[in-house]
Chains A and B, each alone.
Chain A
């Protein structure tokens, strides 16, 4: 109570002093604008400025004929091609096929990666058995396994989903395992003094404590899944976005390739945004007074 009172008095005294200094010229704040050490004023629409500039150069180059249409179709050609592809249904059906592959791969990968991390993170035996093979698997780029996986599974959906799953398991496992093992020792002590049981300790302390690391792993996993998707669809596929792009390449349809790339970009941005939202929701306890 008393501290608050002192503060108020200070504030009043302060403003009085200021108004005396500006007597006669009204109470306008005439202090010179202090230069801050930051980067200066914020630029409006800064995030989109570079993109708009690239689009403008692209359009201008296409209009003037400076950019060869066979190398890079004009933005409007890409747009009309996209509309055509949507009207005859090819874009949607290929997109759906690809989306199902990624979704399956992510679902299996997250499930398996988390399960492995929990077993290996919570028991010494689990770690002894699981961690070694995972580290070896990690050393081999997943895409290098494609030839072997084709021999095992053929070139159908199981092979494609397996490749994506394998590429998702690694980041999920690594981050989650790290999070489970990195629990602050102070919390372990606290749990002991509160006489928590082993189950309670894992449920209330270990798992929630590892959640931020798991979500970071999820972010990496989504990127890895998309990369694997692109590769498996270009190696051997008869459907999907990658197939659509490959087909367009053989016919020299630059604009269709570009539509495919735009869709990839949208998927990437959307999924990253989605993970970001999940992160914010799940980690709301982290919010500070500032935001």
Chain B
């Protein structure tokens, strides 16, 4: 992915000195961040470190959170939550095209569902789908809006390990095809390394590490560089591993 984007294009996301807090307690304490067009950034951090707070700021979902700072993000952005967040009273296709007004919405919705491997399930109810399938619908719902920025908050956190690996492949393909800028919040180091162009670590309200991942695809544990980046990140997250 790298040669295409690096350094040549305008930043899609620009954050300067972003501060956010709850009830007087500072959670984000001066975040600086740029994400370039088409760049895939993973955000790692301990539970409670403020990952969701940062993502929600980028998603315009933090009206009632106190804070300061400059924040520039594109109009066209989609959010994928940890829960698929489908409306249970709408069929799958209706969920995908929710809020779209154009006449080709249904057609594009069908295409998006086919892309995530759910062709033929357009008329199913959300309860009839497995957790992984529901999250695919959520991905389709995001992509059909053709976002310049895709924000995902631990989107695979509730899935089993096998399903999660398949979803990684799917997300990688979708991103290579549609090329949105991505910020993927995760607490899974392997997930971050295998998907992202850049991995950030959030700690004590600041970004304490910003590591470019130039590994060739497919990335796997077999590559010794994978293991060394992994050990490095784990150490930055405060986990010591004994070999």
Contact = CB atoms under 8 A, between A and B. Distances in A.
A204 B101 CA distance: 13
Interface residues on A, range: 20 to 34
Contact of B88 (A196, A200, A204, A286): A286
B48 interface: no
B151 to A, nearest CB: 9
A76 interface: no
B111 interface: no
Nearest to B90: A204
Interface residues of B, number: 23
A285 interface: yes
Interface string A184-198: 001101111111100
B146 to A, nearest CB: 13
Interface in A161-217: 186-187, 189-196, 200, 204-205, 208-209, 211
Contact of A287 (B61, B99, B125): B125
B127 interface: yes
B127 A208 contact: no
Given A189-B61, A287-B125, A288-B127, A194 B98 contact: yes
A186 B85 contact: yes
Interface stretch (B76-84, B205-213, B226-234): B76-84
**Max chain B Cβ within 10 angstroms of own Cβ: one of A190, A191, A205, A286:** A190
B157 to A, nearest CB: 15
A289 interface: yes
B99 A195 contact: yes
Nearest to B145: A194
Interface in B47-90: 59-61, 77-79, 81, 83, 85, 87-90
B162 interface: yes
Nearest to A197: B99
Contacts of A200: 99
Nearest to A196: B99
A285 B98 contact: no
The majority secondary structure among interface residues of chain A is helix
B128 interface: yes
B99 A186 contact: no
B99 A194 contact: yes
A189 B90 CA distance: 17
Contacts of B85: 186-187, 190
A3 interface: yes
Given A193-B59, A194-B98, A285-B127, 11 more contacts: A3-B162, A186-B85, A191-B99, A196-B98, A200-B99, A204-B87, A204-B98, A204-B99, A211-B89, A285-B89, A285-B126
Interface of A: 3, 186-187, 189-196, 200, 204-205, 208-209, 211, 284-289
Interface of B: 59-61, 77-79, 81, 83, 85, 87-91, 98-99, 125-128, 141, 145, 162
